[in-house]
Amino acid sequence: MFANVVTLYRASGRPSLAGDRFSFLGPTNPQLDAAVSACEEVDPGFGRFADGPDYDGAGELDFTWSLSSNELGRFFSSVPDFIARCESIHRGEFPKNYYIAELDYFDGDSGEASIPELEKAGRFCELIRLLADLSLSGNLTAVAGRAAHMVFVKPASTGKPPVTVEIATRIEPRMLLVSAPDLDVLRDLLSPQSKGKVRTEEYKAAFRLAIADACAAETTEARFGALLDQWESVIQRFRYDVECIVDRMSFDVLRREIADAELTFVGRVNTSVVDNAAKFLGIPVSLVAVTTVFSGDSLSGDVLVCLGAVIVALVISGIAKATRFQLATTATAFGALLISMRDRAKAGGEVAGSIDELDRTFHRRCAFAKCVVATFQFMAWIPPWAALGIMAWKFPTPWVSNFLGTLLGFRP
């Protein structure tokens, strides 16, 4: 129905607006007559004939149309008049059914070229809606016709209490001279896809802080304009804060990885020795061979005991070799992890120092484990060598021929 009012205004030759009215006095035509007939049927909420329509016998038409003053359909003389008189835009609600006389622009026209000033005003409305979603308080204004009112808080810092920053989002005509704000970052942050993601609430808090810092020094009414003027700085501050959050996340992740690496790799080194400790208990058993050879008087018996000690020593040597292989594999895996962590750590920083300390701890434990394994392997060969020494002492050089004779069944 509002389109009928616009058609009437255009068919009347777009007369000057006198407040909320326009008048026509002149010759009529079929297009104007059709518009008058259509407007006689419109709902009073869209306007009404305050005077007329009156026709005389000479084809003259005289009428005065009273425009509506509600949100069903509004006439504005110009874009600044639209900004000043349209209350809904200050709450982030861009209107429908409006006509701007200076531009002959009706938002209901299909294929109508866009108006840069109106597109910018629409962007401001979107910003107001996004700010209401971002603010913890939301829009505190519940009174129709008033601008949105939101609260952002600067947290307490050293020696300073928290600061409450109130923003009244009234759009002014001068703001149309400011560049349209880039809202992509804020849209992404507040999109449904971002809900539930890790760190989203931290990112929102960073954006709130950037907004509060940008306009805290201004009065409540002037803060929205200051925010538009400094919007690029707000985005830059937010991106910097996000980088700091990401760096802190990386720091925390690296610290956890360092702790996990210490538990995993240093634990593997300790386990490689502890798990094989029971197998090294064969060394004391081999020591029995020494006492047996020392107290025995049978050459063949002493040889069998000595062979048993050698077998025990070979088994322990194999275990020691396998343990060294295990330690080498662990050291290789640890080295690869260490390179990865050092690539992500800042040189000379706290994390880099922790990585260096982990490296030193691992290699100390690894060197100690290798020393323990080598000691066990060396000790495993002491009983057979001691037994052979005792046999050489008990049975001087001829013992070899005696041993062969015993095996072959004759004595020399």
344-358: pLDDT as tens digits: 666 666 777 778 887
| Confidence (pLDDT) at 281 | 60
pLDDT tens digit sequence for 79-99: 999 988 888 888 888 888 899
362 pLDDT above the threshold of 90: no
| Confidence (pLDDT) at 296 | 64
Task: Give the pLDDT band of residue 158 (cuts 50, 70, 90).
Answer: low
Task: Give the pLDDT band of residue 120 (cuts 50, 70, 90).
Answer: very high
Query: Which of the two residues, 57 and 276, has the higher pLDDT score?
Result: 57
| Confidence (pLDDT) at 9 | 92
Distance between CA 126 and CA 148 in Å, rounded?
A: 12
| Confidence (pLDDT) at 183 | 92
Judge contact between 159 and 123, C-beta under 8 A: no
Query: Which of the two residues, 24 and 273, has the higher pLDDT score?
Result: 24
Distance between CA 134 and CA 205 in Å, rounded?
A: 9
| Confidence (pLDDT) at 290 | 66
Query: How confident is the model over 94-121, as a mean pLDDT?
Result: 86
| Confidence (pLDDT) at 412 | 46
pLDDT tens digit sequence for 190-209: 888 887 776 788 888 889 88
Q: What is the mean pLDDT of the chain?
A: 80
Which range has the worst mean pLDDT, 36-40, 217-221, 390-394?
390-394
Which range has the worst mean pLDDT, 72-76, 121-125, 213-217, 377-381?
377-381
* DSSP strand pairing (74-76 vs 149-154): unpaired
| Confidence (pLDDT) at 368 | 84
Query: 200: burial class by Cβ within 10 Å (0-12, 13-18, 19+)?
Result: middle
Which range has the worst mean pLDDT, 31-40, 242-251, 363-372, 378-387?
242-251
| Confidence (pLDDT) at 127 | 92
| Confidence (pLDDT) at 386 | 75
| Confidence (pLDDT) at 285 | 62
Query: Which of the two residues, 317 and 145, has the higher pLDDT score?
Result: 317
407 pLDDT above the threshold of 60: no
* Top-confidence range, 174-178, 250-254, 354-358: 174-178
34 pLDDT above the threshold of 90: yes
The percentage of residues in the chain with a pLDDT greater than 70, rounded to a whole number, is 79
Query: Which of the two residues, 121 and 257, has the higher pLDDT score?
Result: 121
Judge contact between 158 and 212, C-beta under 8 A: no
144 pLDDT above the threshold of 90: no
Query: How confident is the model over 94-116, as a mean pLDDT?
Result: 85
| Confidence (pLDDT) at 402 | 61
Which range has the worst mean pLDDT, 121-125, 148-152, 243-247?
243-247
User: Which residue type sits at 311?
Assistant: I
Query: How confident is the model over 275-290, as a mean pLDDT?
Result: 63
| Confidence (pLDDT) at 38 | 92
| Confidence (pLDDT) at 332 | 85
Query: How confident is the model over 384-409, as a mean pLDDT?
Result: 63
| Confidence (pLDDT) at 197 | 75
pTM of the full structure: 0.61
Q: Which residues 6+ apart lie within 8 Å of 105 measured at CB?
A: 99, 112, 115, 118
